[in-house]
Amino acid sequence: MLVLVTGASAGFGEAIARRFVSEGHQVILLARREERLRGLSEELGEGCVKVISCNVADIEKIKSELGEYAQRIDVLVNNAGLALGVESFDVCLREDFEEMIETNILGVVRLTHYLLPFMVERGSGHIINLGSIAGNYPYPGGNVYGGTKAFLKQFSLNLRADLVDKNIRVSNIEPGLCGGSEFSVVRFKGDQKRADELYENAYPLLPQDIAESVYWVASLPAHININSMELMPTTQAFSAFRVCKKP
């Protein structure tokens, strides 16, 4: 399989790329940080056929870099995404929520819209979106981030409805607490200590666990479509409803 992985320079994306290559598949790595992509590409050797360093929402650059590879992609892993800030929406920064919407929604929709016609023409393909439990359950400070992940959940299901007669699979992977990546350092705006405290003794999921789920979904027999897969570490569950006592 030829697999395009976005957000491939670290965390889930890097682990997903490594997992596919370890099974003899080929990957195209896409992310902003060129140096990191080059390092990973060297490690992956012939498993990596191309590196594209740009913002995932920059569809024109992606189109020109992909060239004819676009017609051959079997699996698109829409992994690039981020949470920026945990403030209540009334005090969060506009540039933060706009960046989340651009990366988590526009990046996914533009790239999927570009590659899907090639998959339809070939009569095969798999779109795998990286959602989150934040798209399934509300929590304080999740506002726009959770909204973007809820969008991915419904977008994935609606794609399934559009593609039911096209032999194209669509899956939404919805992880909960996951350590071992830069996700929470970015979410807490560079506060490494706060990120470390969140994961300490929590035995969170790890990027390799997400990679395993993505690989499993993609390697099932072609007639099976995993619509969505929600996973949490055993140490995470649902919180009780919050009740606010007024003075």
Q: Both ends of the chain: CA-CA distance in Å?
A: 61
Nearer to ligand 8X3, 48 or 133 (CB): 133
Strand bridging mode 75-78 / 48-53? unpaired
| Torsion angle, alpha carbons of 140, 86, 154, 76, to 10 | -150
Nearer to ligand 8X3, 73 or 130 (CB): 130
Q: How far is the CB of 176 from ligand 8X3 (least distance, A)?
A: 4
For residues 37 and 144, give the distance between their C-alpha atoms in angstroms, rounded to a whole number: 28
Q: How far is the CB of 12 from ligand 8X3 (least distance, A)?
A: 10
Q: How far is the CB of 130 from ligand 8X3 (least distance, A)?
A: 9
For residues 41 and 54, give the distance between their C-alpha atoms in angstroms, rounded to a whole number: 15
Q: How far is the CB of 149 from ligand 8X3 (least distance, A)?
A: 7
From the candidates 69, 137, 139, 145, give the one annotated as an active-site residue: 145
Determine the Cα angle at 5 with ends 82 and 79, to 5°: 25
For residues 123 and 127, give the distance between their C-alpha atoms in angstroms, rounded to a whole number: 13
- Contacts with ligand 8X3 by CB under 6 A lie at 132-134, 176-177
Nearer to ligand 8X3, 7 or 176 (CB): 176
Nearer to ligand 8X3, 125 or 135 (CB): 135
Nearer to ligand 8X3, 177 or 226 (CB): 177
- Position of minimal CB gap to ligand 8X3: 132
Known catalytic membership, residue 145:
yes
Supply the DSSP string of 8-21, one letter for each residue.
Answer: TTSHHHHHHHHHHH
Q: Residue 26, CB half-sphere, CA atoms under 13 Å: how many?
A: 12
Q: How far is the CB of 62 from ligand 8X3 (least distance, A)?
A: 24
List, edge to edge, every strand of the sheet that includes 228-231: 48-53, 26-31, 2-6, 75-78, 125-130, 168-175, 228-231
Phi first, then psi: give them for residue 77, nearest 5 degrees. Answer: -105, 100
User: Which residues form the catalytic set?
Assistant: 145
